[in-house]
Chains A and B, each alone.
Chain A
Amino acid sequence: MEKKLIVKICTGTLCYVMGGAELQLLDEQLPAELLAQVEIQGSPCLDCCNREDSQGAPFVKVGDRIIASATIEKVIDAIKNELNA
């Protein structure tokens, strides 16, 4: 079986409050052909926010790439990029 692209959505409290909660709906908005190629995981704090300036949350990890200020659209674009790479 083909290896799936791992998409980790940070569900740490900071990311969750700063808009990450909306990303929980990613699986519903991801086109079916992309959904089949990824594995979406909720992740404990990805440790991206431990900087003095917390701006940049919410974070999502698509493969090895960190997406800051993530929105569903941004994540879908990143998934497409990774899959085409």
Chain B
Amino acid sequence: MAVNNAVLMRRELLTRLAKLYNKGELELKIDRIPLELRPKGSQASRCCLYKDRAMLRYKLMALLGFNIRDEEDELTPLSEYVRRAFERTEVEREPLTVVDEVCSACVKTNYVVTNMCRGCLARPCMANCNKGAISFENGQAHIDHTKCVNCGLCMKNCPYHAIVYIPVPCEESCPVGAISKREDGTEQIDYSKCIYCGRCISSCPFGAVMEKSHIMDIFKAFAGPKKVVAMVAPAIAGQFKAPLPQILGAIRELGFDDVIEVARGADETTENEAREFLHKMAEGQAFMTTSCCPSYIAAVQKHMPEIKPFVSDTLTPMQYTARIARERYPDAVLVFVGPCLAKRYETYCDPNADLMLNFEEIGSMFIARGIDVATSASMELEKGIDSTSRGYPVTSGVMNAVKTKIGDRYEVRPVLVNGLNKQSIRELRGYAKSCPGNMVEVMACEGGCVSGGNVIANPKIATRQIADVVRMSEQE
């Protein structure tokens, strides 16, 4: 994710939360965080310090794992939510919450008349508006927001370019139209459409769409009697400026009883995808698509029914790893460490995995504990993991693994869908009738999991580091 102040603020809040927890002062001091970040006399980013502080308070509420809309009493302090978080036994199914207090900054009507309007005689804006939404006040055009339907004809017809288009970033970034305005202007997410791609989170310039973090539930697990085991996505190898064994060692240092590489599960995914592909080809099916990206799977279920028969039934690396981890540790709390919102949803749905930590959250936990990954003790990597499994998180990585496994048993004609957007979803639907290859790899994020919504490292750098790890594993 491109770094900006909204992203950094989220990481700052996570770090402060984790620091207070580590000191045993979370309940006592959490309500002070908004004041510390916006002290008296400091500059407000919105209308005033009080608004800023209220926004921070709500963001903390989301990081504590709560749905902002569930707030019953505005006077309930964050300390009370800390208590409730420790009492709850389950995390919520839907991973997103919109912070209304932070949102509603965006326009309802996408077209705005600027001061450049000359109030000309021709008035083509008015003449071309089929809805009668344009009138003239004080010699300038004015758009009636109750009549405007956002068709854009006024902008197209204005000879002075005086009318501009103002997007609603979350709505514009959503590839499936799952986020929209309520009457009062705040945004709501339609979970019958949402594919958990996380674009709304990254695109909102105010950081109004938040993930409900499991961080409190993980703290609770650490404090409890059960073992806590981390299952770490292969994308982690690109996230810190340190070799993979040290990154895994640093994760262990956080208090996990064991750390298992999800690349282990990827071995099984590759094996089964290859078997399934050969089977489907023998049956005469036109093509098969991979199934590792839960955002893609949600898109198929909710928006591309015609593709359903072509998606492989093979489980994802995380799901196989959770199965292995559950066998090894029947009573443990299993925590998946991954790059994105979609994987949080997948973790929730998986019968074996319990909780999810994203890369930002784990980075913040490192900071709070004063762990510098580069000086952490290395953990020995599990032997025998296929090098191609460590290459999964980069676009074409899954394809490469499965194709290598198939070898010369069948001619694979690869098609890569590198990023889901309105256009690629349309193209994918077309594949049901005519597909340009026989194996389709789909990753919702352009570039692969290294570009997931909660990554720390720049995807370019992460991609290079992943390639290094793959090379190192080949030489093993």
User: Are B374 and A13 within 8 A (Cβ)?
Assistant: yes
Among candidates A17, A44, A45, residue contacting B456 with C-beta atoms closer than 8 Å:
A17
User: Are B372 and A19 within 8 A (Cβ)?
Assistant: no
User: Are A16 and B456 within 8 A (Cβ)?
Assistant: yes
Among candidates A11, A12, A22, residue contacting B458 with C-beta atoms closer than 8 Å:
A22
User: Are B458 and A13 within 8 A (Cβ)?
Assistant: no
Assess whether B202 is interfacial by the CB under 8 Å rule.
no
User: Are B367 and A24 within 8 A (Cβ)?
Assistant: no
User: Are A13 and B371 within 8 A (Cβ)?
Assistant: yes
- CB B463 to nearest CB in A, in angstroms, measures 12
Assess whether B308 is interfacial by the CB under 8 Å rule.
no
Among B123-131, B311-319, B358-366, the stretch that binds chain A is: B358-366
- Which residues of chain B have C-beta atoms less than 8 A from A11's C-beta? 241, 374
- CB B229 to nearest CB in A, in angstroms, measures 22
Assess whether A18 is interfacial by the CB under 8 Å rule.
yes
Assess whether B266 is interfacial by the CB under 8 Å rule.
no
User: Are A14 and B367 within 8 A (Cβ)?
Assistant: yes
User: Are A21 and B458 within 8 A (Cβ)?
Assistant: yes
Among candidates A17, A19, A44, A54, residue contacting B366 with C-beta atoms closer than 8 Å:
A17
- Which residues of chain B have C-beta atoms less than 8 A from A54's C-beta? 15, 367
- Which residues of chain B have C-beta atoms less than 8 A from A21's C-beta? 3, 241, 456-458, 461
Bound state CA distance, A5 and B208, in angstroms?
Answer: 42
- Which residues of chain B have C-beta atoms less than 8 A from A13's C-beta? 240, 250, 363, 366-367, 371-374
Interface size on A, residues (CB 8 A): 17
Among candidates B240, B360, B371, B460, residue contacting A25 with C-beta atoms closer than 8 Å:
B460
- Which residues of chain B have C-beta atoms less than 8 A from A17's C-beta? 11, 360, 363-364, 366-367, 456
User: Are A45 and B372 within 8 A (Cβ)?
Assistant: yes
Assess whether B150 is interfacial by the CB under 8 Å rule.
no
Bound state CA distance, A42 and B457, in angstroms?
Answer: 14
Assess whether B375 is interfacial by the CB under 8 Å rule.
yes
User: Are B460 and A55 within 8 A (Cβ)?
Assistant: no
Among candidates B8, B12, B458, residue contacting A24 with C-beta atoms closer than 8 Å:
B458
Closest to A25 in B: B458
Closest to B14 in A: A17
Chain B 15-41 near chain A by CB (<8 Å), digits 1 or 0: 100000000000000000000000000
Best-buried of B15, B366, B367 by chain A (most CB within 10 Å): B367
Closest to B362 in A: A17
Bound state CA distance, A18 and B366, in angstroms?
Answer: 12
Among candidates B8, B12, B241, residue contacting A16 with C-beta atoms closer than 8 Å:
B241
Bound state CA distance, A55 and B8, in angstroms?
Answer: 10
Closest to A20 in B: B241
- Which residues of chain B have C-beta atoms less than 8 A from A19's C-beta? 3, 8
Best-buried of A13, A14, A25, A55 by chain B (most CB within 10 Å): A13
Question: Which residues of B219-272 are within 8 A (CB) of A?
Answer: 240-241, 250
Best-buried of A11, A17, A45 by chain B (most CB within 10 Å): A17
A13-B366, A17-B363, A42-B241 as given contacts; A22 in contact with B12, CB under 8 Å: no
- Which residues of chain B have C-beta atoms less than 8 A from A55's C-beta? 12
User: Are B375 and A44 within 8 A (Cβ)?
Assistant: yes
- Which residues of chain A have C-beta atoms less than 8 A from B375's C-beta? 44-45
Chain B 441-463 near chain A by CB (<8 Å), digits 1 or 0: 00000000000000011101100
Bound state CA distance, A46 and B405, in angstroms?
Answer: 45
- Which residues of chain A have C-beta atoms less than 8 A from B241's C-beta? 11, 16, 21, 24, 42
- CB B232 to nearest CB in A, in angstroms, measures 16
Bound state CA distance, A17 and B367, in angstroms?
Answer: 8
- Which residues of chain B have C-beta atoms less than 8 A from A22's C-beta? 3, 458
- Which residues of chain A have C-beta atoms less than 8 A from B461's C-beta? 21, 24-25
Can you list 19 residue pairs at the A/B interface with Cβ under 8 Å? A13-B367, A13-B371, A14-B366, A14-B367, A16-B241, A16-B363, A16-B373, A16-B457, A17-B11, A17-B456, A21-B456, A21-B457, A22-B458, A24-B457, A25-B458, A25-B461, A44-B375, A45-B372, A54-B15
Task: Other than A16-B363, A45-B374, give 12 A-B pairs with Cβ distance below 8 A.
Answer: A13-B240, A14-B367, A17-B363, A17-B364, A17-B367, A19-B8, A21-B241, A21-B458, A22-B3, A22-B458, A24-B461, A25-B460
Query: When A and B form their complex, which 4 residue pairs have the shortest distance between CB atoms, in order from nearest?
Result: A11-B241, A17-B363, A21-B457, A19-B3
